[in-house]
C-alpha cells in the first residue's frame, strides 16, 4: 500500500505527443523527404515507414488508451492534405478524419498541430516563409482543416516551436535549406510565421468559436556557463528574450521585438487561449557562442541523456511554468517533455521528477491543465534520424515490432491513478524516493537514517 501520494486534479489531461512526419511514414511530398534523400540525416535509416501511422495509427492509439491516456497531441501533414497548390486530397482528409475519430473512440482528446517542421515541396519552391504568399496559403489550409475536421478538434496548435524551427533552418542549417539563410531570412520567416498564425487563428475561430488555440513553444533554461562573466550573463538574457519569450510576447502584445527594433502585427494581440510549453533541458551559454550555439559540457554532476542531447533538469520545468504564468496569465499545457533514452535508464526517474514539478505547480495554483509526454513511440528524430529514441514504447523501425519500456508501464500507473506515489518510485526508480519524500514516509517501518 502506498504511504505517500501526490494527487492530480480529476480533469487533468494525460497524453503523449507525436508529429505527422515523424510517425506516418512515406511523406514523399514533404521537404524533409528530399532533404533526407540528399543525405542530411544521421545514421543509416531514413524516416521510411516511420511508425507506420498512415496505415496503422490505430495500433498505437490502442496502446495509448491501454496506457490510461485521455489525450493525444498529433499533427497533420500539409503536404498530404494539399499535395499541389489548390488541390486538396479528399482521401487524405478522410484518413485524418478516421484517425481523429479513432482518438475520440478511445477516450483520447486530440490536440492538433497544423505545422510541425514539415512543408509541402510546392510551397518550398515558392519560398515558403521567406515569401508572404505563404500567409494566404496557410489561411486556406487552416480553413480547409477547420471545415472538414474541426468538429473533431477541441484544441489546436497552429505552429510547433517556431523559434526552434527557424534557428535550426535559417541559422544552424540542420533542417531543410530555406531560400534565405542567415539572420535576415530568420526574422523574415518569424514575421511570416506570425502572420500565418494570425490568419489561421481567425479562420479557425470563425468556423469554430469554441476551439481553443495556441502555439507550442520550445522554452528551455538558458544560464550563463558556471563562472561566466558579465558578457555571458548579458548573452544569456538576450538568448532567453529572443528564443524563449519573443514569439509568445508577440502573441500577447501584437508586437514582435527582434534583435533590433520591433514590428506591430494587425490582429495578433491576444490570439491565444493557452500557452503550450515544450520543455526538455537546461543549456549553458557563453559569448561568443561555440558552433551549435550552446555548451555541450554540463559539468561533472550533470545527468546527460543519449547522444549528448541535454541535461536532465526537472526543476527547470517548474521554473518555466512560473515564468510563463507570471508573464501571460493563461492556462498552460505541457505540450512536450521527454528524453532520448533507448535503454530506459533515465526515463522512469525523469517522468517522476518532471511530473512532480507539475504537481507542485498545480498545488500552488498555477493552471497547468495537461501533460503530453514526448513521445508515445520511438519515431524519426529529424536530423538525428533514428539515433535517438524518445518513445515510451520502443519500435524496431524495420520490423515495426513494439516493446513496452518500463517507463510506459510507470506512465500507465500514473495516468490510471492520477497520482505519483512511493510504491511507483520504489518499483521503477528507487533513487527518486528520498528526492520526492525526503522525510520518513508515514507508516513506513524503516525510519531513514542520516
Ligand atoms: C520537437 C519534436 C522533437 C523533439 C525531440 C521537439 O523540439 O517538437 O518534433 O522530436 O523536440 O527532439
Given a cut of 90, is residue 2 above it in pLDDT?
A: no
User: How far is the centre of ligand 1, averaged over its atoms, from the C-alpha of 131 (Å)?
Assistant: 25
Atom of ligand 1 nearest to the CA of 160: 8
CA 166 to CA 293: how far, in whole Å? 14
Of 396, 405, 448, 399, nearest to 428 by C-alpha is 405
User: Peptide bond before 112: cis, by omega within 30 degrees of 0?
Assistant: no
Residue nearest to atom 3 of ligand 1 (CA): 381
pLDDT in the model for residue 203: 98
User: How far is the centre of ligand 1, averaged over its atoms, from the C-alpha of 440 (Å)?
Assistant: 39
Residue nearest to atom 10 of ligand 1 (CA): 381
Say whether pTM exceeds 0.95.
yes
pLDDT in the model for residue 448: 61
What are the φ and ψ backbone dihedral angles of 447, each rounded to 5 degrees? -65, 145
CA 107 to CA 217: how far, in whole Å? 26
3-class DSSP state for residue 295? coil
pLDDT bin (cut points 50, 70, 90) of residue 449 is: low
Which residues 6+ apart lie within 8 Å of 375 measured at CB?
A: 16, 17, 18, 22, 338, 390, 391, 392
Given a cut of 60, is residue 294 above it in pLDDT?
A: yes
User: How far is the centre of ligand 1, averaged over its atoms, from the C-alpha of 84 (Å)?
Assistant: 27
Which residues 6+ apart lie within 8 Å of 141 measured at CB?
A: 78, 81, 82, 114, 200
Residues 19-40: tens digit of each pLDDT: 999 999 999 999 999 999 999 9
pLDDT in the model for residue 293: 81
CA 365 to CA 359: how far, in whole Å? 10
Given a cut of 90, is residue 439 above it in pLDDT?
A: no
CA 47 to CA 17: how far, in whole Å? 17
pLDDT in the model for residue 297: 82
Given a cut of 60, is residue 5 above it in pLDDT?
A: yes
Residues 207-255: tens digit of each pLDDT: 999 999 999 999 999 999 999 999 999 999 999 999 999 999 999 999 9
Mean pLDDT of the chain: 96
Distances (CA, A) of 90 to 97, 134, 324, 359, 436: 10, 22, 39, 43, 51
pLDDT, average across residues 388-416? 98
pLDDT, average across residues 195-204? 98
User: How far is the centre of ligand 1, averaged over its atoms, from the C-alpha of 1 (Å)?
Assistant: 37
User: How far is the centre of ligand 1, averaged over its atoms, from the C-alpha of 328 (Å)?
Assistant: 24
pLDDT in the model for residue 292: 76
The pLDDT > 90 percentage for the chain reads: 94
Which residues 6+ apart lie within 8 Å of 241 measured at CB?
A: 257
| Residue bearing the bigger pLDDT, 396 or 442 | 396
Which residues 6+ apart lie within 8 Å of 195 measured at CB?
A: 132, 135, 265
| H-assigned helices in 106-182 | 121-125, 133-149, 162-166
pLDDT in the model for residue 197: 99
Q: Which among 158, 308, 382 is the best mutation to test ligand 1's pocket, defined by most ligand atoms within 8 Å of the CB?
A: 382
Is 103 within 8 Å of 110 (Cβ atoms)?
yes
Is 217 within 8 Å of 248 (Cβ atoms)?
yes
pLDDT, average across residues 176-190? 95
CA 7 to CA 359: how far, in whole Å? 7
Q: Which of 178-182, 315-319, 399-403 has the lowest average pLDDT?
A: 178-182
Q: Exposed e or buried b for every residue in 311-342, given b needs 16+ CB within 10 A?
A: bbbbebbbbbbebbbeebebbbbbbbbbbbbb
pLDDT, average across residues 290-307? 88
Q: For the CA atoms of the chain, what is the radius of gyration?
A: 21
Residue nearest to atom 1 of ligand 1 (CA): 161
pLDDT in the model for residue 447: 63
DSSP string, 39-77: T-SSSS--STTTT-HHHHHHHHHHHHHHTT--EEEEE--
Is 408 within 8 Å of 392 (Cβ atoms)?
yes
User: How far is the centre of ligand 1, averaged over its atoms, from the C-alpha of 23 (Å)?
Assistant: 12
Of 180, 183, 327, nearest to 260 by C-alpha is 183
Which residues 6+ apart lie within 8 Å of 137 measured at CB?
A: 82, 85, 123
Which three cell numbers mark 24?
506516418
3-state SS track over 91-108: HHHHHHHHHHHHHHHCCC
Given a cut of 60, is residue 450 above it in pLDDT?
A: no
CB-defined site of ligand 1, < 6 Å:
19, 22, 160-161, 164, 218, 278, 336, 374, 381, 390
pLDDT in the model for residue 296: 83
Amino acid at each position: 500500500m502506498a504511504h505517500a501520494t501526490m494527487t492530480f486534479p480529476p480533469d487533468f489531461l494525460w497524453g503523449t505527443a507525436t508529429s505527422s512526419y515523424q510517425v506516418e511514414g512515406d511523406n514523399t511530398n514533404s521537404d524533409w523527404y528530399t532533404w533526407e534523400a540528399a543525405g542530411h540525416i544521421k545514421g543509416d535509416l531514413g524516416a521510411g515507414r516511420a511508425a507506420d501511422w498512415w496505415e496503422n495509427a490505430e495500433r498505437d492509439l490502442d496502446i495509448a488508451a491501454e496506457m490510461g491516456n485521455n489525450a493525444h497531441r498529433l499533427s497533420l501533414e500539409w503536404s498530404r492534405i494539399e499535395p499541389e497548390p489548390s488541390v486538396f486530397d479528399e482521401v487524405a482528409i478522410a484518413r485524418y478524419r478516421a484517425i481523429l475519430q479513432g482518438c475520440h473512440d478511445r477516450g483520447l482528446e486530440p490536440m492538433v498541430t497544423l505545422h510541425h517542421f514539415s512543408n509541402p515541396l510546392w510551397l518550398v519552391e515558392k519560398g515558403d516563409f521567406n515569401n508572404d504568399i505563404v500567409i494566404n496559403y496557410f489561411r486556406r489550409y487552416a480553413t480547409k482543416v477547420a471545415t472538414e475536421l474541426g468538429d473533431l478538434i477541441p484544441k489546436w496548435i497552429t505552429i510547433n516551436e517556431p523559434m526552434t524551427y527557424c534557428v535550426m533552418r535559417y541559422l544552424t542549417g540542420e533542417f531543410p535549406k530555406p531560400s534565405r539563410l542567415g539572420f535576415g531570412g530568420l526574422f523574415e520567416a518569424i514575421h511570416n510565421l506570425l502572420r500565418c498564425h494570425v490568419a489561421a487563428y481567425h479562420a479557425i475561430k470563425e468556423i469554430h468559436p469554441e476551439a481553443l488555440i495556441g502555439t507550442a513553444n520550445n522554452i528551455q533554461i538558458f544560464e550563463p556557463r558556471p563562472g561566466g562573466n558579465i558578457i555571458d550573463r548579458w548573452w544569456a538574457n538576450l538568448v532567453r528574450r529572443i528564443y524563449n519569450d519573443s514569439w509568445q510576447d508577440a502573441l500577447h502584445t501584437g508586437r514582435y521585438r527582434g534583435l533590433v527594433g520591433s514590428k506591430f502585427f494587425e490582429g495578433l494581440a491576444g490570439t491565444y487561449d493557452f500557452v503550450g510549453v515544450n520543455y526538455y533541458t537546461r543549456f549553458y551559454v557563453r559569448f561568443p557562442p561555440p558552433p551549435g550555439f550552446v555548451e555541450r559540457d554540463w559539468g561533472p554532476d550533470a545527468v546527460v541523456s543519449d547522444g549528448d542531447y541535454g541535461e536532465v533538469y526537472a526543476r527547470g520545468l517548474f521554473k518555466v511554468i512560473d515564468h510563463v504564468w507570471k508573464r501571460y496569465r493563461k492556462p498552460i499545457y505541457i505540450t512536450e517533455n521527454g528524453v532520448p533514452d533507448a535503454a530506459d535508464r533515465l526515463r522512469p526517474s525523469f517522468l517522476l521528477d518532471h511530473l512532480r514539478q507539475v504537481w507542485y505547480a498545480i498545488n500552488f495554483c498555477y493552471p497547468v491543465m495537461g501533460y503530453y509526454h514526448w513521445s508515445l513511440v520511438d519515431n524519426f528524430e529529424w536530423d538525428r534520424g533514428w539515433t535517438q529514441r524518445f518513445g515510451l514504447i520502443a519500435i524496431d523501425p524495420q520490423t515495426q515490432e513494439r516493446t513496452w519500456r518500463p517507463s510506459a508501464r510507470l506512465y500507465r500507473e500514473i495516468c490510471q491513478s492520477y497520482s505519483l506515489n512511493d510504491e511507483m518510485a520504489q518499483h521503477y526508480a528507487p533513487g527518486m524516493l528520498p528526492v520526492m519524500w525526503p522525510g520518513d514516509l508515514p507508516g513506513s517501518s524503516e525510519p531513514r537514517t542520516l
